Amino acid sequence: MPERWLDPGIAGLRAELCQVQSTGEEFALLFGTHAGGAARLERRILLSPLLAKQLAATLANLARDPNATPAGASESAASDADAPAGARRMLGLVRALGVGFGFEKSFKLSPGSVQDERVILGVRPERAPREGLLRICRELGMSKAHLEQFEARLPEANTVGFGFEGGREGGAYKVYLEFWDRVVERVRREPSKPAPQLLFLGYKWPAGGGRSSGPLALAEYTCHPLLAVEAIARRLAALYPRDSPSLAAAQEILQLAAARLGPDDSFVYVEAAEEGNPRRSFDLNFYKVGLHVADLRTPLSRLCERYSIPSARLESLLGESAARPFGHLSGGLGREGEDFLTVYYEIEGL
């Protein structure tokens, strides 16, 4: 998915103290408040060394001039080499907006198959010219009906994600609208048991043949806020057959991440569906716990064995991604009814 989501539980938190810790491989920012005369650390944020440097530069710049443009706001460290060939046109169009953007890559595993030509570029719409965002959709071949809906819903969106996935006949483009503020509003209205809320709309169409070639798809991603880990595990089990290979891997990765989760914290859990096909899938955001793709080696090895994917192929994937921050996980049943699991990791934070 297109961005590193905030947890609703920290919305509105004003820090009164901060500590910084470093292991050499990552930085930890600990924020807290003074309660009853005692210091209380309440939140921890883990940063890669590169992101820590970017944050330090931004804060120093803004401290000198509060009206300055944040450091790096109009540039990206991502290069063409970070994107598959089929995504470089899209990368160029997003770069031309002149604003900072997030960059995620992913690899999708399914029986006997690996797809690693996958990227998502995340843009804050308040920083980007509206016409520029619409122009990218038109240039990439979004259908007229989807473009009209995208334009109508754009003012509500907190993030726009531009995605590409390789495949037959040139692959496919995806565009996402994220409505995070609506989810936070629902949680604030119903803090004890917030109802599910639409988080993303996802538009997908073939990249190879223009707007009239191949099927179009519109996916709705529904967020189930503040679920306990046990409740997430139950929803995963209900998505697809008990003997699903991706279910076993997802449950193992969920428990791995949960071991790093605070007692009163939760993950952002989303379920996706599309009309006209059997897709039933989930997305779980794990950025907050500071895992790296290398930490998933054991469950991914078991999954590749069940999928009949050679271990050398997995090692090739990990060779590129092992040191990258593990972002989120999706899986379930795909558009053709196939079992799958997709691992997303960060190239550059939004």
* Amino acid (1-letter code) at residue 191: P
Could you give the CA distance from residue 343 to residue 296 in angstroms, rounded to a whole number? Answer: 9
Asked if residues 268 and 5 have their Cβ atoms less than 8 Å apart, the reply is yes
Could you give the CA distance from residue 296 to residue 291 in angstroms, rounded to a whole number? Answer: 9
> What pLDDT score does 62 carry?
60
Tell me the DSSP string of 241-307: -TT-HHHHHHHHHHHHHHTTS-TT---EEEEEEETTS--EEEEEE-GGGT-BGGGGHHHHHHHHHHT
> What pLDDT score does 160 carry?
98
- Within 8 A by CB and 6+ apart from 18, the residues are 29, 30, 31, 32
Ranges of the chain with pLDDT below 70:
1-13, 24-25, 36-37, 49-51, 53-54, 57-58, 60-78, 209-215
Could you give the CA distance from residue 334 to residue 132 in angstroms, rounded to a whole number? Answer: 32
**Full-model pTM:** 0.77
> What pLDDT score does 74 carry?
44
Tell me the DSSP string of 162-201: EEEE--GGG-EEEEEEE-HHHHHHHHHHSSSSPPPEEEEE
Nearest partner of 257 among 247, 267, 248, judged by Cα: 267
Interval 257-305: pLDDT, tens: 999 998 888 999 999 988 777 778 999 999 999 999 999 999 999 999 9
The two structure tokens encoding residue 271: 């379920």
> What pLDDT score does 244 carry?
92
> What pLDDT score does 292 carry?
97
> What pLDDT score does 79 carry?
73
Count CB atoms within 10 A of the CB of residue 283. 21
Asked if residues 85 and 92 have their Cβ atoms less than 8 Å apart, the reply is no
Asked if residues 262 and 223 have their Cβ atoms less than 8 Å apart, the reply is no
